[in-house]
Amino acid sequence: MINDIQFLDDATRPHAPRLAGVTEAQRAAGLHLREIHDHLRHNTQLLRRLIEKASAGLVTTAEVAEATGDLAMVANFRRFGTLCGQHCQFVHGHHSIEDAYLFPALATKAEAWKRVTDRLQAEHVVVHEILMRLIDALELLAADPSREHFDAAVELHDALERVLLSHLGYEEEEIGDAIGYFGVF
């Protein structure tokens, strides 16, 4: 299920310059970013619990669809189509804001910031693809809780968790201080 997904090698991630003299007020924007990411981390845990319940036959297809449809990140994906490169007049959701506003603003500061934000946008595409496949796998698992469907859902969830958690940490580390420092929050 994940063999055709274009995963990005973490070792190839570019790094932004470290900023000297970041004030606590400037650092607050990065802390807010971390709070938003904590919500996404919580969603990942919710998906894990749905896999376990569907495997045990404790939820229906409709319940899985309802639970996943309410996740903010899923609603954003479905509303805007893709995460990478979206510049919408009405920006809704975390990754859409980053792609449409934060990343372009940071990219103008220096070539190093452009390389980091380009990479973060590329990672959004991978996260989006895995998440959409996981939602489909969860619906299949709820409809037919077979070992094959359970294994597919677990494989996709594990990939999502690995990619998303790595992405969130990388983003926090590379741009957390910068968004307050440059005033692009």
Q: What is the pLDDT of residues 99-150, one digit of tens each?
A: 878 899 999 999 999 999 999 999 988 887 887 787 788 778 767 777 888 8
CA distance 57 to 68: 17
CA distance 143 to 136: 11
In the block, which residue shows the tokens 């995460």? 83
Q: What is the pLDDT of residue 104?
A: 94
Least-confidence region, from 2-6, 37-41, 76-80, 153-157: 76-80
Q: What is the pLDDT of residue 147?
A: 80
**Of 45 and 13, the one with more pLDDT:** 13
CA distance 71 to 176: 24
pLDDT tier, 90 (very low <50, low <70, confident <90, very high otherwise): very low
* Nearest C-alpha neighbor of 168 from the set 76, 49, 30, 47: 30
**Of 114 and 37, the one with more pLDDT:** 114
